[in-house]
Copies of this chain bind each other. A is one copy, B any other.
Amino acid sequence: MKRFLIGLLMFFAVSTGSSLQADEGMWLFNNLPAEYLKSKYGFEATPEWTEHLMKSSVRFNVGGSASFISSNGLVLTNHHVGSDTLFKISNKEHNYLKDGFLAKSFSDEIKAPDLELNQLITIEDVTDAVKAAVQETMSTEGAVAARRAVIAQIEKDSLDKTGLRSNVVTLYGGGRYHLYRYKKYTDVRLVWAPESAIAFFGGDADNFEFPRYCLDACIFRVYENDKPAVIEHFLKWSDNGAGEDELVFVSGNPGRTSRIFTTDALKYQRDVRMPFVLNLLRRREIVLQQFGLKGVENARRAREDLFGIQNSRKAYLGMIGGLQDPQVMAAKEKAEMQLLAKIKSDPKLKSYESAFATIAEIQKKRVAILGKNIALNSQLFGVAKTIVEMVDEDKKASGERLPEYSEANRESLEQQLYSDAPIYSDLEQYLLADSLSMMLELRGADDELATKVMNGLGPTERAAELVQNTKLLDVVYRKELVKSGSEGIESCNDSMIRLARILDADTREFRKINDELAEGEKQAYAKIAEVLFATKGTSTYPDATFTLRLAFGTVKGYEQAGESIPAWTKFGGAFEHETNHTGQEDFVLPETWKKAKENLNPETPFDFVCTADIIGGNSGSPVVNRDGELVGLIFDGNIQSLTSDYMYSDKDMRATSVHSSAIREALKYVYNAGHIVDQLGK
């Protein structure tokens, strides 16, 4: 399970108004459900336990989670989280993504071109400061600007003071603002990755299913000053992993959930946005498949994007499937009616009632603008757009800029902008042609701006012209352009830069409209959050925001179509699974596994499920026991869990993990990586 694609609109919101389900919640590390854990599980999360787990957790800024697993900088995550890097360090000769990799020594470890890992150090409540900057009398536009300015200032001050990456996080849809400070690691090197055939055994068919037999794991190492970093907080490796019904914890970064969404907002998702996104995903899936059909190297180039798209498509299908179930929607409506009844009956809350109508109104406006912006699927165009915006934004004070260009975010932005990860011109051209075609479909081919974009050519020809007449593949040229400032950009005749300039005004205008809608929603959801605080206190959790959360649950199987699904699979099952799917290309075990078969204990646990409440972005999260020892590695949720975007149930929703023993045994017996095993948890 990959975090849903960045750029397909992010969500924010606050936790549901309905009563908490058993084991529900993606809890803030500074507001854990202490009472519940104690009464139900007799477990007490001490400050030391909590801090240790928090600081042992790692965020991958490509959209996943991870953990420190040794004092000398080893980081464990999923193969599909590392795959972005595996892809970027591969080429026609070495396909590490497909064939795997093992460093025999430190000097073999391969540096990732643009990976940034974050370790959460502190959380500080800055709600008062942020709220004080926004006055009720302000226009929507004014409110956006004022909040943006105060947040940029808080982040900048924190960065200056601590040297730590500092981000203000909007929680409970605007009910609270917390400042998160991270230690950044930007020298990250690949240590080990298995073959994609075992990391993603069963392929798209098995994705989001259980039973599974995937070693969806890989190991990086963080460096400082060109040496393995010395890590204070890291997870011990459990000897045997977790047993049936055992309490486990998941510490990771869920990307987004929509649990507080009003029914109007959910219906917009169900009837408008999700169908739109699904059409887009299917379109990209087919385009990438088509590109891959042209040859083996083409297939390699398209593979990483294709996997991400297929994963999102299957996730969205699960989400829309739930929303299209009348019973699911009826439950949501019922909960909303109850909340509304409470508001109406309480004079203190009555003023919050309008929030629901406001959200409904905003959904209508969202319908009207959906797909009207020109979003071109091209990395080179993305580079051009960033440069054009950056040069412009840099003329303003940091707090007045679009947030990604603020001073506090500059270092991370430049790491991406000046990355020398490969960009393939042929793939770029192919995707851009489709993207231009889609623009013409969405705006109508006679649209004035679209006509300017096309420059008198058809999509295929224009894409060729654009890709063949840009120098932005060259990172040095990018830096020169930024340095050349406004004048340089204005006189620049690079094809992509010129295109970015053509689109700049429209992109900014669309963003402004979108920001205002988001602001309106933010204010309305903040009101609903206040209602919840008023009735429940803050003993609830906010919707996911791709920041560190703690989930918990027990290791437990479930019922599916009358069948009992056990909590575990075992190594032996993987070989049977292959036999049961003879003739299907995604079900062929790697040679390494076939060779190692006789040395592997068929009873070794492989993958397991638990009831913890997770979602995309939790990929790579460590699963730990009461003692904080690593017992598993989250890599997926079952198909039933896809509706957890808007509601949780422990009935049959499950989080799927690789068992800690499977990773250790495979390292030892399949990959002959005893030297890595020796470092685990030490």
Stretch from A182-190, A285-293, A511-519, A548-556 contacting the other chain: A285-293
For A205, A327, A329, A457, which residue has the most chain B Cβ atoms within 10 angstroms?
A205
Residues of B near A295 (CB, < 8 A) are 581, 584
Residue of B nearest to A291 (CB): B205
A193 CB → nearest B CB, Å? 22
User: Is A239 an interface position by the 8 A CB rule?
Assistant: no
Chain A interface size, under 10 / 10 to 19 / 20 to 34 / 35 or more = 35 or more
Q: Count identical subunits in the complex.
A: 2
| A458 touching B583, Cβ below 8 Å | no
Q: Return A638 CB to nearest CB of chain B, in Å.
A: 15
Interface pair B323/A445, CB less than 8 Å apart: yes
A632 within 8 A of B: no
For residue A282, CB closer than 8 A to chain B, the reply is yes
- With an 8 A cutoff between CB atoms, is A304 at the interface? no
Chain B interface: which of A148-156, A399-407, A436-444? Answer: A436-444
Find out whether the CB atom of B294 lies under 8 angstroms from the CB atom of A205: yes
Bits for A450-464, please: 1 = Cβ < 8 Å to B, else 0.
010010111111000
**A-side interface mostly:** helix
Residues of B contacting A448 with CB < 8 Å?
Answer: none
Are B583 and A267 in contact (CB-based, < 8 A)?
no
Given contacts A204-B293, A270-B445, A584-B295, contact A325 B285 (CB under 8 A): no
The reply to whether B444 and A325 form a contact with Cβ atoms under 8 Å apart is no
Whether A283 is near chain B, meaning CB under 8 Å from some CB there, is yes
Asked if A296 and B583 make an inter-chain contact with CB atoms under 8 angstroms apart, the answer reads yes
Q: Are A267 and B445 in contact, with the CB atoms below 8 A?
A: yes
Bound-complex Cα distance A441 to B461 (A): 34
Q: Are B457 and A293 in contact (CB under 8 A)?
A: no
Q: Does A283 contact B290, Cβ atoms closer than 8 Å?
A: no
Say whether A326 contacts B204, CB under 8 Å: no
Pick from B444, B451, B458: contact of A271, CB under 8 Å: B444
A320 within 8 Å of B (CB atoms)? yes
Asked if A415 is at the interface (CB within 8 A of a chain B CB), the reply is no
User: CA A324 – CA B585 in complex, angstroms?
Assistant: 38
**C-alpha gap A441/B205 in the complex (Å):** 24
Contact, CB under 8 Å: A457 / B326: yes
- Assembled-state Cα–Cα distance A461/B583 (Å): 30
In the complex, whether A566 has a CB less than 8 A from a CB of chain B is no
| A282 to B321 CA separation, bound complex (whole angstroms) | 18
A581 to chain B, nearest CB (A): 7
From known contacts A296-B583, A581-B295, infer whether A324 and B286 are also in contact, taking CB-CB under 8 Å: no
Q: Tell me the smallest distance from the CB of A149 to a CB of chain B, in Å.
A: 40
Please, which residues of chain B bring their CB within 8 A of the CB of A444? 267, 271
Contact call A586/B457, Cβ cutoff below 8 A: no
- A 257-303 contacts with B by CB, 8 A: 267, 270-271, 275, 278-279, 282-283, 285-286, 290, 293-296, 299
A203: interface (CB < 8 Å): yes
The reply on A313 being an interface residue by CB < 8 A is yes
Cβ-based interface call for A480 (8 A) = no
Most chain B CB within 10 A, of A323, A445, A456, is at A445
Query: Can you list, as one digit per residue, whether each of A639-660 has a CB less than 8 Å from chain B (1) or not (0)?
Result: 0000000000000000000000
A543 to B372, CA, bound (A): 36
Q: Which residues of B contact A603 (CB under 8 A)?
A: none
Contact between A275 and B441, CB atoms less than 8 A apart: yes
Which chain B residue lies CB-closest to A299? B584
Q: In this assembly, does A446 line the interface, its C-beta being within 8 Å of a C-beta of chain B? A: yes
Name A330's closest neighbour in chain B (CB-CB): B456
The contact of A586 among B285, B293, B313, by CB within 8 Å, is B293
Contact A321/B584 with A283-B282, A441-B271 known, Cβ cut-off 8 Å: no
- A320-B437 in contact (CB<8A): yes
A321 / chain B contacts, CB cutoff of 8 Å: 437, 458-460
Contact B446 A267 (CB under 8 A): yes
Q: Which residues of B contact A325 (CB under 8 A)?
A: 457-458, 461
Interface 0/1 of A568-606, CB less than 8 Å to B: 000000000000011111100000000000000000000
CA distance A208 to B441 in the complex (A): 23
Q: Is the Cβ of B286 less than 8 Å from the Cβ of A313? A: yes
Is A286 a contact of B282 with CB atoms below 8 Å?
yes
* Bound-complex Cα distance A457 to B321 (A): 11
CA distance A196 to B293 in the complex (A): 17
18 chain-A/chain-B pairs, Cβ below 8 angstroms: A203-B293, A267-B446, A270-B445, A271-B440, A279-B279, A279-B282, A282-B285, A286-B286, A286-B313, A293-B586, A295-B584, A296-B583, A296-B584, A299-B584, A320-B441, A324-B437, A326-B457, A585-B585
Which A residues are within 8 Å of any B CB, using their own CB?
203-205, 267, 270-271, 275, 278-279, 282-283, 285-286, 290, 293-296, 299, 313, 320-329, 437, 440-441, 444-446, 451, 454, 456-461, 581-586
